[in-house]
A and B are shown apart, each in its own frame.
Chain A
Amino acid sequence: MIITELSILYVLLLFIITFLSILLVYLLIRKARENSVRKRINMHKDKYRVPIFEYLSSGETTRLIQPIGKERKVAIEELLKEYVSVLDSLETRLNLSRYAETHLMDLYLNNLKSIYWGKRMNTLFNIENFHMTSLEEEVIEHILNKQSAQKEEKIQGLCILAHFQSNSFESFLEQNYKDLSEFDLRNILRRLNDIQLEDLIVDFDNYEQHLQCAILDRISLLAQVEFVPFLESVFFNKEDEIRIRALKALSNIGHVQDIRQYFSLCQSTIWQERMLLAKLLKIIQDEQAIPCLKKLLHDQSWWVRSQAGQTIASYPSGNVILNDILIESNDNFAKDMARECLDKGVLI
């Protein structure tokens, strides 16, 4: 009886081993071929490196850098990627975009339709890197308007529109943002400039909370005083997380219209608010806030104590206050913090 089982197993093993061997041969051939292709691409890269650089800085084309065939195009693509991260004058960037649009356009049009997700993603990254604005319509057509496109592709598509300051950005964002996380949104929005942000602020109240948070974080990073009135209106009118984010942005910008309106936060039940108040008071120094800061140095949250300590230390009378606390206070946590802040001497 066991003979049957054995023969089944023999056949199965034989089959698997044959299959694996064929796969091995295929993979080995593929590797050998790709290794030699890689060698040729590297040769092309060496050949093109200097002419491309000259073109990028002068804008004059020579016949040498007209890439024909896929390997040369890949070589060019890799070189451009190396340069794009080091060049920052506007003119060279324009030259680079123009060059990429002339020579890589066909390749990228095909890649956007590729069945490989990895290939489509790489192409999207490069469209943004090389600032190939003439592909905007194709990105919309093949990625953003496509049902089957995956989340990562949509995110990258939105990044491209944001980066290109496209007029269609806002509508595509509104279509897609509900499926995206706050981090994704922050990542997309960090490409926006202040004018594009103004457009989003108009519809601020209609968005869901995670997009609102992302917008506030973008403002916080931009750190432009023009946004202070908007942030203050959010802070005084909204609740919870949104309110904290607005306060965080304000403390980052380091400007408010009247600091005394914020003093009541000293009694806030939310530790983040107390900490952010201490942070604001470091930039907008106000002697009247010192009793409040002393109280915050005795706070139950380590973060609040730490920020209050740093703030006090930055005041002209800071060292005196901290020394007093070190002597007078009964609270060991506050004393520890005061000691650490006084000790900052050599190190940052």
Chain B
Amino acid sequence: MDWNTILQLYAWVIAIYMIVVIFFYTIILFFSTLQIRKEYRLSKTEPFKDYMDENFTRPVSIIVPAYNEEMGVVQSVRSLLTINYPQFEIIVVNDGSKDRTLEIMLEKYDMVRVNKVVRKQLETEETKGIYQSRVLPNLYLIDKNNGGKADALNAGLNFAHYPYFCSLDGDSILERDAFLKVMKPIIDSDEEVIASGGSVRIANGCDIQNGNLINIGLSKSPIVVMQVIEYLRAFLMGRIGLSRHNLLLIVSGAFGVFSKHWVIEAGGYKRNTVGEDMELVVRLHRITKEKKLKKKIIYVPDPVCWTEVPESLGVLRTQRRRWHKGLFESLWAHRKLLLNPKYGTIGFVSIPYFWIIEFLGPVIELSGYIFIIFSLFSGGIYIEFAILLFLLSTLYGSIFSMTSVLLEEWSLRKYPKVTDILKLFLYAATETLWYRPLTVLWRCEGIIQIIRRDHSWGEMKRKGVSK
């Protein structure tokens, strides 16, 4: 074989890969559209009214892991206190902070030490003390030695009094009805649903005061706008389609409610992993399949949680590398599931999807970009292949993103201004030209770090979303 044939073959492999992926996305898009459209024009509050009666709704424990969060922890808790839900408790877990997180909490919420019996069902670092607020009896604080986020969550789980829990990051703002929306499918299914995630949207650009979302807006920064589109696409298109067939592997890192019983049964959060949320979801799928139980993990399209995203390329780059490493760790830890008939559709559809499209996708896309650049220099027949690849990646990137923007406006309609939609649509059209190649590059860097066994996670700096 001469070079010419090899290169042509190479281009064809990439092209066929892209066609398969486009086909897969189209199917998911189709299912998502059906699902979202069904609830068109349905009142946003009425269906949840009956769930406000505490005799019918299951109470929820909200666990807030805090490590050096003296700046934001009081705000986060305050925003949680205004939640519209009949019965809940807030458990702040101080994971051995080195700053004044503990002191500030004790002082602001008038917290006192209490003697509480804790059922230690998960192993964690030693607990130093448990505090309860004198003004808000449903607010607790667990003070423990440092052990990382997963360990803090496990300590919170040991202490939690209620059958369902949710973990929340300090940089997220919940909508007031978030829990009603996310708990509804759990209650409706008579608890066949064991985990339920809500849609996450981007808070940058929105008007947030005192931990409450006042107005939805769109940021001026192009990077943020692109991330808005990316989130729309991931949530509206991807997750709804996967959720419909119980194939969902991610209950979003930012917002999800889990059944405490099943999480403890599965062994709690795993320590020392980047993507502890995804890992947990895979494990839940795994044990329910192993025990042959009919349990489901689902996703609610309604946006319920607003989170802060990076505004600079540097931070975004670190975040994407970290995510990609997290994805790999979860997939690798559960590699046994891949194409294993015991795990049904999870083993044959979800896991391969995440391996091939989510994990390896960037490598193939990157080689496509390299081919395109190469062809610019060599010319001839390669130019045609380059055009082919470019057109396919436009379909793959821009077109699906543009469709997601329209899908949002067709159904959920969160952005109030006409110009917002136009802006989102036009930005989406440019995705293939700059944003997509950048993220692809960063994710490939993540893979390189995995190969080099570089375990630095990188830190995400927060500006704080709330005024």
Contact = CB atoms under 8 A, between A and B. Distances in A.
Instruction: Say whether A and B bind each other.
Output: yes
Interface of A: 2-3, 5-6, 9-10, 12-13, 16-17, 20, 23-24, 27-28, 31-32, 35, 116-119, 121-122, 125-126, 181-184, 186-187, 190, 221, 302, 336-337, 339-340, 343, 346-348
A278 B43 CA distance: 44
Interface stretch (B233-241, B284-292, B380-388): B380-388
A181 B188 contact: yes
Contacts of A10: 391
B410 interface: yes
Contacts of B81: none
B53 interface: yes
B116 interface: yes
B402 A13 contact: no
Contact of B42 (A31, A121, A184): A121
B388 A9 contact: yes
B41 A116 contact: yes
A27 B42 contact: no
A122 B43 contact: yes
A16 B187 CA distance: 41
Contacts of B47: 121, 125
A221 B413 CA distance: 39
Q: Nearest 9 pairs between A and B by C-beta?
A: A118-B42, A118-B41, A125-B46, A343-B115, A336-B117, A181-B190, A122-B43, A9-B391, A27-B409
Given A6-B388, A35-B418, A27 B394 contact: no
Contacts of A336: 117
B50 interface: yes
Given A302-B119, A340-B116, A28 B387 contact: no
A346 B112 contact: yes
Contacts of A182: 190
Interface size class of B (residues with CB under 8 A): 35 or more
Contacts of A181: 188-190
Contacts of A302: 119
A118 B190 CA distance: 23
A24 B421 CA distance: 9
Interface string B179-196: 000000001111000000
B315 interface: no
Nearest to B416: A35
Interface of B: 38-43, 46-47, 49-50, 53, 55-56, 112, 114-117, 119, 132, 134, 137, 187-190, 381, 384-385, 387-388, 391-392, 394-395, 399, 402-403, 406, 409-410, 413, 416, 418, 421-422, 425
Contacts of A31: 409, 413, 418, 421
Nearest to A306: B117
B397 to A, nearest CB: 12
B140 to A, nearest CB: 11
A181 B192 CA distance: 11
A5 B406 contact: no
Given A12-B395, A16-B395, A119-B41, 10 more contacts: A3-B384, A13-B394, A16-B399, A28-B421, A31-B413, A118-B42, A121-B47, A183-B190, A340-B115, A346-B134
A191 to B, nearest CB: 10
A122 B42 contact: yes
A17 to B, nearest CB: 8
Contacts of B53: 190
A116 B421 contact: no
Nearest to A337: B117
A144 B392 CA distance: 50
Contact of A347 (B114, B384, B402, B410): B114
Contacts of A116: 40-41
A122 B391 contact: no
A122 B425 CA distance: 31
B327 to A, nearest CB: 30
Nearest to B385: A2
A5 B388 contact: yes
Contact of A28 (B41, B50, B116, B418): B418
Nearest to B403: A20
A51 B370 CA distance: 70
Nearest to B8: A2
A264 B384 CA distance: 86
Given A6-B391, A336-B117, A337-B117, A27 B56 contact: no
A335 B15 CA distance: 69
A221 B399 contact: no
A203 B263 CA distance: 41
Contacts of B137: 347-348
A70 B269 CA distance: 53
B434 to A, nearest CB: 19
Nearest to B161: A306
Contacts of B42: 117-118, 121-122
A32 B422 CA distance: 12
